[in-house]
Amino acid sequence: MPSASALGPGTLTPSSASLALPNQRVGTTGPARTVQLTATGGPVSITSVSLAGANPGEFPVQTDCVQPGPSGSQITRVLAPGDTCTIAVHFAPAQRDGRGAEVDVANDSADNPVRIAVQAVGTVGYELVEADGSARGFGDAREFGDMDRQPLNAPIVDTANTTVDGDGYWLLGGDGGIFSFGNATFQGSTGGQPLNAPLIGMAPTPGHGAVPQNAYWLVATDGGVFSFGGAPFWGSMGGQPLNAPIVGMASTPSGNGYWLVASDGGVFAFGDASFHGSLGGLALNAPIVGMAATPTGHGYWLTASDGGVFNFGDAGFFNSMGGTKLVAPIVDFAPSPTGQGYWLVGADGGVFGFGDAPFRGGLGDADVDDVVAIAATAPPVASIPPPSVTPTPVGKATQMATSHHKWQYATPIRSK
């Protein structure tokens, strides 16, 4: 039962002493849960609302229990007997699994502050995609459809999740055809156009800042880059001599640059992408098959078909499958949202998680041999934000809570 605090004429009682918020994907913000505070027996002055506990930066609050002051400051609100105010708590996990904090409401009653415990679970997941267009979700990944048993002009070679919330994905065909599902929108393709070389990889724009959301780049094995949906073009290796074909690309956090990687480990940086090193010119036990950038953009990983992982810049090394006998070659790599771990996937759908990237399932026992890509659902999280309490005008906290974060999903669009 909620506790009440009393001093002199008034008491302040929360409608609940704790909140359990729904599970939420790391790197996204979920809908709010609210607590009502009621003054009884006399007036109560509320002087501040703050966050404390283990993970306060992951539970942003809006409240009309205090009033907005200059530069984000809080102004005391006095509740008359029978008056209520609202605390709306969101969950914006920066890491997976159980997270918690407490909302402290400073007031002039005896039990000061009134404390409300909040807890929730951050989730992660990934999609695996096969050359025939099948898409399988694991962990918190939702399946919005795929191209399984649909006619394709060329095999699927890559996939990417939307970077805003991960509730959508694109499939890329070797001819440059794009197939969009969930809230991933079709922005164009090279399907049906003459190409100098087949397409091999794609990268979505980060989904924040000046670069448009839901846009993407495609890259061909000759290093040609194709931009769609307002994704800025920063250059390419098309028409340039290459020692080995391009096998992948990755965007910077700003979307104002990208890297290309070749199968010999050569790395090519464009726009605001910084060069942090490469494997070009070195003898490799197996060819490079993919790359990924760290959440800060100050580093990247390369992975080889034998499961070797090579880290550059601020990318950490969390172990690899190099030197281990594999049932099938590694075909792709995906970092965890924090950059403190990563997944490798083999052509047989076997998934290997390292660091804080948990194993959520795979296709290793499903008798498949044509898995081509893995994509993590959660967007990158460069840092844990500071605690955030936003005072609102009276009556606005509930309105903000109920209108927050309503997803709309696009109808699947197929382009050949």
What predicted TM-score, i.e. pTM, was given to this entire model? 0.89
Answer positive or negative: Cα dihedral of 67, 70, 72, 75.
negative
Give the whole-angstrom CA distance, residue 153 versus residue 271.
33
DSSP for residue 92:
-
**Each residue's pLDDT tens digit, 326-363:** 999 999 999 999 999 999 999 999 999 999 999 999 99
Residue found under tokens 């039990």 = 111
Q: Would you state the pLDDT for residue 163?
A: 85
Residue found under tokens 């690309």 = 249
Q: Where in the chain is the domain with CATH 2.130.10.10?
A: 125-376
pLDDT surpasses 90 at 415: no
**Each residue's pLDDT tens digit, 127-148:** 999 999 999 999 999 999 999 9
Task: Give the DSSP letter string of 313-325.
Answer: ETPPP----TTS-
Q: Is 4 left (phi over 0), alpha (psi -120 to 50) or beta?
A: beta
Give me the numbers of helices (H) and strands (E) for the chain, helices first please.
1, 33
Answer positive or negative: Cα dihedral of 397, 398, 403, 407.
positive
**Each residue's pLDDT tens digit, 195-242:** 999 999 999 999 777 899 999 999 999 999 999 999 999 999 999 999
Give the whole-angstrom CA distance, residue 240 versus residue 183.
36
Residue found under tokens 């969950």 = 91
Residue found under tokens 């100050």 = 298
Architecture of domain 5-122+384-400: Sandwich (2.60)
Q: Would you state the pLDDT for residue 5?
A: 44
pLDDT surpasses 90 at 392: no
Q: Would you state the pLDDT for residue 309?
A: 98
Q: Which two tokens stand for residue 293?
A: 């950038």
Q: Where in the chain is the domain with CATH 2.60.40.10?
A: 5-122+384-400
Q: Would you state the pLDDT for residue 407?
A: 26
Report the amino acid identity of residue 346: G
- The β-bridge partners of 140 are none
Q: What is the mean pLDDT of the chain?
A: 92
Q: Which two tokens stand for residue 296?
A: 């800060």
Q: Helix (H, G, I), strand (E, B), or coil: what is residue 245?
A: coil
**Each residue's pLDDT tens digit, 239-297:** 999 999 999 999 999 999 999 999 999 999 999 999 999 999 999 999 999 999 999 99
Residue found under tokens 């390369």 = 302
β pairing state of 413-414 and 299-304: unpaired
State the first-to-last Cα distance of the chain, in angstroms, to the nearest integer.
60
In CATH, which of 2.60.120.10, 2.130.10.10, 2.60.40.10, 3.30.420.240 is domain 125-376? 2.130.10.10
Residue 294, φ and ψ in degrees, nearest 5 = -75, 160
